[in-house]
Structure 1
Amino acid sequence: MEIKGDLMDVEIKNLNITLSKKEIIKGIHLTVTGNKFVGLIGPNGSGKSTLLKALYRVLKPTYGDIYIYGKNIESYSKKSSAKILGVVSQFNNINFDFNVIDIVLMSRSPHKNLLEKDTKVDYDIALNALSLVGMLESAQKSFNLLSGGEKQRVLLARAITQEPKILILDEPTNHLDIKYQLEVMNIVKKLNICVLAALHDLTLASQFCDEIYVLKDGQIVCQGIPKDVITKEMIKEVYDVNSNVFVNPTTKRISIDYFTEDL
């Protein structure tokens, strides 16, 4: 598929999603252009995950449109969209007892014909991805025996092995220690592809995102670069939490100090 450089990677127009008669997403407009790391932030229930599920076609919008490279996502075959969109979702329940390498190699299927076997190239791509996430030594281990954090890193390796042009992450640092949170975010940033990620950690979002959309009650309440979006006023309005937001003199990055009114 030839992709013209002047098209937006992702364009969401007037998206609405109603589930069980409750309006979850309310007329959202969102665009992502180029190899940007774009973050979705907001409290639990704000609609971040629901929006992403519509993008990777788990949920069908009530109305509105999603375009990938100028083409309505509904016009892509599942296989075609899998060559473009890679996903690391929030909850991954894999009940079969596969080895790690087999889990990762599953993501090569969009690039293959039916019943086509894995090649040395496939294995090299998969092993490189496992190396990137620090899980190469676990390639032959059972996936089900890994910790939650290890599983999350393997699933990121699987998405990288898919070689997507756009990577969708739903809370990618869940279950990870601080060290691995930073490592995973660094890995994703260095992929130099379009990334759209739902994040709960505002400090991580400010550190790694090129642009941020803030969701509350299914609507975008503000958007922009991190230093303009992540303010104490936004945090109070959206999260109902008091904070001080300042630039760390050592790292030159945004730092956030949360507090209650009685402190």
Structure 2
Amino acid sequence: MAHEFITLEQLAEQLGRDRRDLEKQVSRGRLPGHRVEGQWRFHPAEITQWLEMEMRGYNDVELLEVEEAQVSAEVEGGLPVSSFLYPETTQVPMEGKTKRSVLEELIEVAGRTWQVWEPAAILSAVQERESVIPTGYENGVAIPHPRTPMADALGESMISYGRTQSGIAFGAPKRQLTDMFFLVLCRDSRTHLLVLARLGRMLQLPGFIDELREAEDSRTSYEIICQADNRLTEEA
């Protein structure tokens, strides 16, 4: 697996961060790294998981820095969410009443595009990710996703969104219930991080969560999400 590791310089470029800052963090144990022949080396999967956790506490400016450091050929028009979310992959309301049934429904909704090739494998991967660290936030939103990209299970990167009629237990902090779900399925790590960063920024937009929660149907929900995505792109 040595060939999969990247250097400190490559990591700094990938994250858009100062090399010296990253070196301090890894030396203090705040960043996952490995000493190989006296040099720091980093495994992309470990970095992705670390950054996911860090991003949960990032503000808009910090999330924007993550966005700008990622480049994805799949993103169209600078719209990381609208590029992968479609009217047919938006489901409001959802029928699921348990964590598993919600995940199954989200994958089924994503499958309407015929780009989900291995739904059982994706479900297993998403459940494994949830068992390690649940993806629910205190605001009633969850962003379930696999721990690593699943290029072999997808024809193209995909997002499905749904809202249940009432909140369910999804592992959010302080036992908060969750009723809004963005399933993120990407074919590579850069696209994955780009989408997570943009979703994080959208969730911080004033009024966005309330407006989305009040949407009565799938089409209205889809339009609200796309408008927020477009707004952030125009403001950049």
After TM superposition, the score normalised by the length of structure 2 is: 0.30
Query: More strand per residue: 1 or 2?
Result: 1
Query: More helix per residue: 1 or 2?
Result: 2
After TM superposition, the score normalised by the length of structure 1 is: 0.28
Which has the higher Rg, Structure 1 or Structure 2?
1
